Amino acid sequence: MFGKKQQKARRPAGSFDTLISSHTAIEGDVRFSGGLHIDGRVQGRVLAEDGGDAVLRISEVGEVVGDIAAPRVIVNGTVHGDVYASEHLELAGKAAVNGSVYYNLIEMAMGASVNGNLVHQHETSRLLTQESESAEEEPHGLPGAGLTEPS
């Protein structure tokens, strides 16, 4: 009522609009909104569209070779690239991230590994905007990351 902020309606935990199955390999960037579940392999960036309640989940057999940017990210597979989770990042027991992790809130289970930096950000999306503006001199967006803000 008074003084309470309205919360955005959250996507149900098991609700995924798009599935990349275990026998599928995609080369190139993937842009999505809603929920994306990866059991296969993506070689390219995985980017959530702006302004959404997007959730990315990578299963224990899933693999992404490229950077990831989404509000909520759940990893139980392998990522070779940086992860930008503007709201919440969950690293399950079989998660293996070879790259830096930028997060607001993080959960990391026993057995998960990160070979890179853990960087707490209050607003990762603001970081992406600032970095992409300064990265116009860089050929691939963020310095050393190969990522630009989703448009």
pLDDT digits (tens, 9 = 90+) for 22-81: 999 999 999 999 999 999 999 999 999 987 789 999 999 999 999 999 999 999 999 999
List the one residue out of 117, 127, 124 whose CA is nearest residue 103.
124
Residue 126 lies in a domain: no
Q: Where are the alpha helices (DSSP H) in the chain?
A: 124-134
Cβ(78)–Cβ(60) under 8 Å? no
Does 108 reside within a domain? yes
According to DSSP, residue 5 is labeled P
Number of domains, the chain? 1
136 lies in a domain?
no
Domain span at residue 62 reads 18-121
Considering only CA atoms, which of 48, 85, 46, 87 is closest in space to residue 67? 46
pLDDT band at 122 (very low <50, low <70, confident <90, very high): confident
Q: Does 69 map to a domain? A: yes
* Reported pTM: 0.74
Closest CA to 68 of 40, 39, 100: 100
Instruction: Give domain status of residue 140, yes or no.
Output: no
- Evaluate whether residue 38 is within a structural domain: yes
Confidence band for 3, pLDDT divided at 50, 70 and 90? low
Judge whether 96 lies within some domain: yes
45 is a domain residue: yes
